[in-house]
Amino acid sequence: MSDDILTSAPATTILPGPTPTPSTPAAPVPVDATVILPAFNEQDHVMAEVERICAALDASEFSYEVLAIDDASTDGTLKVLREAELRFPHVKVVSFRRNGGSGTARRIGTQMARGQVVVWTDADMTYPNERIPELLRILRDDPSYDQVVGARLTEEGTHKILRVPAKWLIRKVAERLTNQRIPDLNSGLRAFRRSVALPYLRLLPPGFSCVTTITLSFLSNQHDIKYVEIDYAKRAGSSKFHFVKDAYRYILQVLRMVMYFEPLKVLMPPALWLIVVGLVKGVVDMVRHPFYFPASTVLLVVTGLMIGSLALLSDLVVRSRDGV
């Protein structure tokens, strides 16, 4: 009786096929310029502003996009912007669920921008947005400039009697601390190179003083700014500017930005003045009352030394900081 021989069939080798690769979304197509247009309760005139911007750029040689950002408006602004998005192929609407302020809108818009140059402007009909191509040509033709600012010739905002001297004082403080002439510190119409501005976006505050911040950031880091004189019209609609609160924020932001880049310019002058006054007072006290130093004299000198030490320590932190 023969043994049954069980033979197994030869194993089949399955060769791996090509590994499927996940589809990669197409990279956004770059354009020459991105216009950031924040809008908060501007339903009555935001369409006219979009029309004006698109007409000027359509007639120019630049490719562009308009990021119209609705900052959680409580009126029909978003609806009007949606209509504009359908009418104008270069308009893209971004809608915020919460009101973040013009600074937040400009920061997020700049991060989203496809343009090599970013333009900031307002939707209240105050700025001559038909001149945006002119600003773009300056940056295109002269690579030595990194930002172009529309310097207003007049002040047409609310609280004009108080606003003009306050803004002049803040501007002079900024000029003193940056050692540069600044014709208009907080103009809302400006164009800048996106690649240069990206490192400074995290410094932008949420409110109106974002324009002051981007100006001081550029000047403090030797990025040249060109100022172009522009007309400034009376705003359409109601102003969102609050004099006391926003003026306080402006001057606080100026000091904050200079402290961030050049703390010695803010802290060392008062420190030296206190020390000098204390020493002079000490000499007078010594002449009047030998070997007697009042507590006020000692306090002046010690306060000056403490502020000076803080200035040197702050400067050391700035110099050892990586990046911006």
- Render pLDDT for 195-232 as a digit per residue (tens, 0 to 9): 999 999 998 888 768 888 899 899 988 899 999 999 98
In a domain, 236, yes or no: yes
pLDDT of residue 92: 96
Does residue 253 sit in the same domain as residue 292?
Answer: no
CATH number of the domain where residue 217 is located: 3.90.550.10
> Token pair for residue 15?
């060769």
In a domain, 18, yes or no: no
Could you give the CA distance from residue 49 to residue 146 in angstroms, rounded to a whole number?
Answer: 26
Does residue 190 sit in the same domain as residue 295?
Answer: no
In a domain, 13, yes or no: no
Q: Which residue has the tokens 């969102």?
A: 240
DSSP 124: S
Q: Are 217 and 200 in contact (CB under 8 A)?
A: yes
Kindly list the strands in the beta sheet with 64-70, ordered across the sheet, starting from the edge strand earlier in the chain.
91-95, 64-70, 31-39, 115-120, 190-193, 147-152, 225-230
Does residue 281 sit in the same domain as residue 160?
Answer: no
Residue count (the chain): 324
Could you give the CA distance from residue 291 to residue 282 in angstroms, rounded to a whole number?
Answer: 10
Distances (CA, A) of 293 to 23, 126, 276: 79, 60, 15
Phi-psi region at 72: left, alpha or beta (left = phi > 0; alpha = psi -120 to 50): left
Does residue 133 sit in the same domain as residue 195?
Answer: yes
pLDDT of residue 22: 55
Give the number of domains in the chain.
2
pTM for this predicted structure: 0.77
Does residue 46 sit in the same domain as residue 155?
Answer: yes
Backbone angles phi, psi at 35, to 5 degrees: -100, 120
In a domain, 184, yes or no: yes
What is the residue range of 50's domain?
31-261
In a domain, 24, yes or no: no
pLDDT of residue 258: 79
- Residues (pLDDT < 50) of the chain are 1-18
Does residue 307 sit in the same domain as residue 222?
Answer: no
pLDDT of residue 255: 80
Neighbouring residues of 69: CB distance < 8 A, sequence distance ≥ 6: 36, 37, 38, 39, 93, 94, 95, 96, 105, 108, 109
Does residue 50 sit in the same domain as residue 170?
Answer: yes
First to last CA, the chain: 92
